[in-house]
Amino acid sequence: MTPKNLSKVCIYGAGAIGGWIGARLAGAGCQVSVVARGATLETLARDGVRLREGGVDSAWPVRSSADPLELGVQDLVVIAVKAPSLREVARHVGPLIGPDTLVLSAMNGVPWWFFQGFGDRYQGRRLSAVDASGEIGAAIPAASVVGCVVHASCAAQAGRVHHHFGNKLIIGEPSGQQSERVVRLAALLQSAGFDVSVSAQIQKDIWYKLWGNMTMNPISALTGATTDLILDDELVLGFVSRVMLEAREIGARIGIPIDQQPEDRHAVTRKLGAFKTSMLQDLEAGKQLELDALVSVVRELGGLTGVATPFTDALLGLSRLQARLRGLY
């Protein structure tokens, strides 16, 4: 049984993470639909959402369409696209969202709603790096949003999602409120087999994840290196640590301090072994790189808080130039 009023779910972004969440929710008894296009839409219509997890294959029929209007208002919309696709989502997501719809933002980086209900000095401020025109915030009601930090590694190959490791979802209201709706959502996700926790400050969880992947992702894309090789190079690791110290100071000034040194986070990353970051996978697949939500926004926040960011600037400049030359930014 799914928790009351959360049985009708739409996944917007049927990639690795979206497909994983959608398959799990379908297995838990939700009526899952997916917004997709092209070959992905054809595969979903024919085979449903397919998942390989722990060596076991499963497939779940879903309703799929390229037009959200055909799917109608949902109880829960999971937005799991890469940040460069979010403006396109904003233009079309409206028919899925009613007055009681929850919108779960399951994306990497700093989201468009970051200062909704948070940050005394910056309360309600729009971040240009992630929502330059304001159209995302205008299209997705702030009152509908629940934040989500995903700690898992998945890949989508030949129409099937492969879950590699990790099972953690951290969710929370942007305001930090322990609302009844977020408790119901946590119960739904737990019933689908996720390890779920409800955060009292989801922005801090977002920032902590960013603290690691804002460096590993673009550096891996620049070099083609897996994370172990980045960690093994003394000079590169020193550069990574300097970027992280800039981000840590920014976090402290906006009210999300990190009580760790970069070396503590390096140890966490090393435990994950040798793997390709999502940005390196995107580069190899010729997909747009989500540099703005991971790096440009940190530079913007540095300007807002008065923190100098020379190392972040260097990382952004090099990564952005490479992406532009490849037509990926």
Q: Span 205-325: which CATH code?
A: 1.10.1040.10
Average pLDDT value for residue range 225-241? 97
Domain-wise residue ranges, the chain? 8-199, 205-325
Question: Does pLDDT of 3 surpass 60?
Answer: no
Average pLDDT value for residue range 268-276? 91
What is the fold, at CATH topology level, of the domain defined by 8-199? Answer: Rossmann fold (3.40.50)
Average pLDDT value for residue range 299-324? 98
pLDDT tens for 198-209 read 999 999 999 999
Average pLDDT value for residue range 137-156? 94
Average pLDDT value for residue range 228-250? 98
Is 4 a catalytic site residue?
no
Average pLDDT value for residue range 116-138? 91
Whole-number Å distance between alpha carbons of 236 and 242: 10
Question: Does pLDDT of 95 surpass 90?
Answer: yes
Work out the pLDDT band at 1, boundaries 50, 70, 90.
Answer: very low
The catalytic residue among 204, 209, 271, 276 is: 209
Whole-number Å distance between alpha carbons of 245 and 251: 10
State residue 202's pLDDT score.
97
Q: Which amino acid is at 4?
A: K
Average pLDDT value for residue range 225-251? 98
- Give the global pTM: 0.94
